[in-house]
């Protein structure tokens, strides 16, 4: 019998878009690329959310996860509001195929979600 290694490495978001201070177009999709293969069933509208900064109401959007590129994309149902700051979050409910929960900052105690913000053009 061969030996095998158990995957205990927590996944993280390795790339997130859009991000930064340059205002983006109101029709831009929001994407998160993961460091390893994810369990598609755990990439959903509960674990990948978009809200106006300071609000808890999520923006309606279609969500797709592409296993080959390890990328999840939120496609808002309507254009985002002009001149508005948004917050995107991938929660620790997102898991890799081995069942490890997302941990954006493994050196910090407990699992950490990934959060980023961006602003739309006025």
Q: Which residues contact 87 (CB under 8 A, 6 or more apart)?
A: 50, 51, 52, 53, 115, 116, 117
Is 7 domain-assigned?
no
110: left (phi over 0), alpha (psi -120 to 50) or beta: left
Domain membership of residue 80 (yes or no) is yes
pLDDT given at position 1 = 58
The verdict on residue 58 lying in a domain is yes
**Cα 112 from Cα 53, distance rounded (Å):** 19
In a domain, 73, yes or no: yes
**Residue-wise over 37-57: b if at least 16 C-beta within 10 A, else e?**
ebbeebbeeebbbbeeeeeee
Q: Which helix (H) or strand (E) holds 69?
A: none
3 domain-assigned = no
- 36 inside domain: yes
CATH number at 67 reads: 2.60.40.1220
Q: What is the pLDDT of residues 13-48, one digit of tens each?
A: 999 999 988 999 999 999 999 999 999 999 999 999
pLDDT level of residue 2 (50, 70, 90 thresholds): low
Domain count of the fold of the chain: 1
Q: Write out the residue range of the structural domain in which residue 59 sits.
A: 13-119
The answer to whether residue 5 is domain-embedded is no
């Amino acid at each position: 019998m061969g030996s095998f290694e158990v995957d205990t490495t927590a996944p993280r978001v390795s790339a997130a878009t859009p991000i930064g201070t340059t205002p983006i177009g109101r029709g831009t999709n929001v994407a998160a690329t993961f460091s390893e293969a994810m369990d598609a069933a755990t990439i959903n509208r509960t674990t990948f959310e978009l809200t106006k900064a300071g609000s808890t109401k999520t923006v309606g959007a279609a969500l797709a996860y592409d296993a080959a590129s390890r990328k999840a994309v939120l496609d808002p149902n309507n254009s985002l509001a002009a001149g508005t700051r948004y917050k995107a979050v991938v929660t620790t409910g997102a898991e890799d195929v081995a069942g490890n929960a997302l941990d954006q900052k493994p050196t910090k105690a407990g699992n950490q979600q990934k959060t980023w913000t961006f602003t739309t053009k006025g």
